[in-house]
Structure 1
Amino acid sequence: MSAKAPVARVASYAFGGHDGRALAEFYAAALGWEVTQEFPDENGVPVAFIVTDGTTIYTFYTARDFRAPNWPEDELPFHLDLMFDDVAAGEKRLLDLGATRPDHQPGGEHWTVLLDPSGQPFCISPATNWQW
C-alpha cells in the first residue's frame, strides 16, 4: 500500500509594497474586510498586516526594496482580479480609496486595469465574467 503524498493548502496570499499598512488598509476597504493582525520586524515596527473575511487571508507587507512594476512594459508574475456587480460604482469607490487608472487598458469591455496605492496593477470586471 502506497502512502498518500502530502498535499498543501494555501494559507495566505502575500503582496509586498512600499507601505504594507497602507496597502492592507486599501484592500481591506475595497473588499469590505478587516485588517485583523499585524506582525513586527526585528525592531518591533509593524511591517506585515493580515486582511481577512474569515475564510481567505491576504498578507500585505512593507518590502524595503519595493519597486512597482513598470506596467505594461514589465510582465506581472501575478495580480488580483476583483469582480463587482456594478463595475462603474466599484471603480469609483476604488479610485476614491487611492487607486489610479492607467491609460493603457487592454481588456476592452471585459476588464479594467487599475493601480493600487503601491502602483501594482489589478483588474476589475463584472461578476458575470466569472460564472463557472
Structure 2
Amino acid sequence: MAHPGRDPIRALAAAVAAMPPEEAVPVLMYLVRELAGQADEAVGRWSGPRRLTGTERALFLILYRREGRFVARESLLAALWPDRPEAGGANLLTVYLSRLRSKLRGLIEIDCDPWSGWTLRRRPDVVFPWEEP
C-alpha cells in the first residue's frame, strides 16, 4: 500500500538509481517479467509446508537469480517494497528472510554479511523441482 504523498514509481526509480548496475538490472528485469506476465510460473513454487507466500516467493526469486552472490539490503527493499520507508521495510525484510529460511530448511542457506547483504546458497546435491529434466 502506498504511503500518502509518496509516489511508489519515483521511490522505485530513486532506489534503482542508487543501486550498482549489476544489482539494478536483475531487479528491473524481474519487475518487467512480472508485469508482462512472463515470469516462469514454476520457479519458486512448492506445495505443502514449503509453499511460499507471494512476498516470500519474490524474495526467493531475487536471491535465487543471484545465487552465490550477495544482494544488498537496499536492492531487496526496493524490489519488494518500493513505496515503503527504508526503516519499515528493513524490519519486514528480516521477518521474510527468517520465514524463507524456515520453510526451505535443508535445501538452502541464506547468509548475511552486514556490509554486503544476503546471499542464497543451496545445500550440496539439491536440485529444485523446476530444474529437473
**TM-score, normalized by length of structure 2?**
0.29
Higher strand content, 1 or 2: 1
Quick one: higher RCO (CA 8 Å, sep 6+), 1 or 2?
A: 2
Larger gyration radius, structure 1 or structure 2: 1
